[in-house]
Amino acid sequence: MITRRQFLAGLGTATVVVAAGAAARLTGGGQGRSCSWGIYANDNLPVGGGSPDYWTYVDLLENKLGRSFAGWRRNGISAADDLTAYRKCYDRGWHWSYANGTQRGGDNLIDGFWADTARGVYDQFYDRFFRTISADPRWTPANPFHFSFHHEQYVVAEGGGPAAGSAADYGAAFRHVRDRMDAVGAHVTQGGNMLMCFVPHWRQFFGDPVFGSWRPTTAVAPYVVSRVDPGADSYDKVGADIYLTAGETLSASSQWSPVRSFALDRGKSFFAGEAGVAGDDAKVLAYLRELDDQLKRWGAGTDPGRAEAICWTSRVTSLGDLRLDATPARLAGYRTMANDRFYAATA
């Protein structure tokens, strides 16, 4: 068994032996040099726009795209149906797996939540969750379960912001949760099957004075990535939730480049835990073409600065109509992208 320091020292290589002599790809998934094409898995949310229920919808969407998804993302680790959804996703072949969550639902504000987390108030909850995942043979060191503690740290609707605590409070809470993952043997360096991910909102990268190009709002500024970063030795991957709303006209480069630059600087691959584009067809298709070109220039896989996965949000939200099949033109654009060999990863 290797130590965390030994594991981190090898992050630039392609494979390491992580447990019992098993050869496994470093930061996971056996994805090779392609980017996993994933989908959101919150079946507890309506798709909207007249679409059928979630599972019927994704069956139809896969048929329209001409391929199956390779991975999934779910926001939620505390509800009784979360684990059921994880297993259902995996069993249908969506093997790249990512869940974000905290001890309570993201919209439940708890004053001082991060400080409470750091001093161990919720240890029993996290220990139980980590043991449950590590005991499930679906996930292995070679194809691990990706977990992030409390994404989008500045977003009040997600339980973050000043009520939760300061950026320093978040870092302490994150490191404590990672220590619990290690303590129960769930992390791959301890013989388990889990990886820890740091996943801010894209505006926290965009507004960062080192990596971004935007002057952040007063809500974002205390939680830009350089401030809220818990330390690269405490996480294995960098993720971001990246949306272009119907009313915005930003380029793919302006949204994604700061994320990639931060990940490269920290020696990590990156993924989009949530991704969606809203607007008219011309805007969406131009954005997809630019994003596709950009990702291919950066490369795919698990090496530093490479794109490992995209988990699309395909539903109607307050941000706009994010469905991949919202119109025939949009579906054609996503179908072309989805069937490119760059996104051919399966786990």
The answer to whether 252 and 291 have CB atoms below 8 angstroms apart is yes
Residues 154-168 pLDDT 10s: 999 889 999 999 999
Provide the 3-class DSSP secondary structure of residue 198: strand
> Residue 347's pLDDT is what?
52
Tokens 């509800």 — which residue? Answer: 79
Question: What is the C-alpha separation between 10 and 20, in angstroms, rounded?
Answer: 18
Torsion over CA of 114, 118, 121 and 126, rounded to 10 degrees?
Answer: 90
How far apart, in whole angstroms, are the C-alpha atoms of residue 73 and residue 304? 21
The reported pLDDT for the residue numbered 23 is 30
Query: CA-to-CA distance for 181 and 78, rounded, in angstroms?
Result: 16
Q: Return the pLDDT at 111.
A: 86
Residue 173 phi, psi (nearest 5): -65, -45
- Regions in the chain scoring below 50 on pLDDT: 1-31
CA dist 282 and 286 (Å) reads 6
For the residues of 206-221, what is the DSSP string, one character each?
HT-TTT--S---TTTG
Radius of gyration of the chain (CA): 19
Query: What is the model's pTM?
Result: 0.89
Q: What is the pLDDT of residue 81?
A: 93
340 in Cβ contact with 292 (< 8 Å): yes
pLDDT at 108: 58
- 264 is written with which tokens? 């490269």
Rounded to whole angstroms, how far apart are CA atoms 104 and 138? 25
Q: What is the pLDDT of residues 330-344, one digit of tens each?
A: 999 999 999 999 998
Q: In this structure, how many other beta carbons lie within 10 angstroms of the beta carbon of residue 94?
A: 25
CATH architecture of 4-343: Alpha-Beta Barrel (3.20)
Q: How many helices (H) and strands (E) does the chain have?
A: 11, 12
Residue 103's pLDDT is what? Answer: 76
For residue 257, what pLDDT is reported? 98
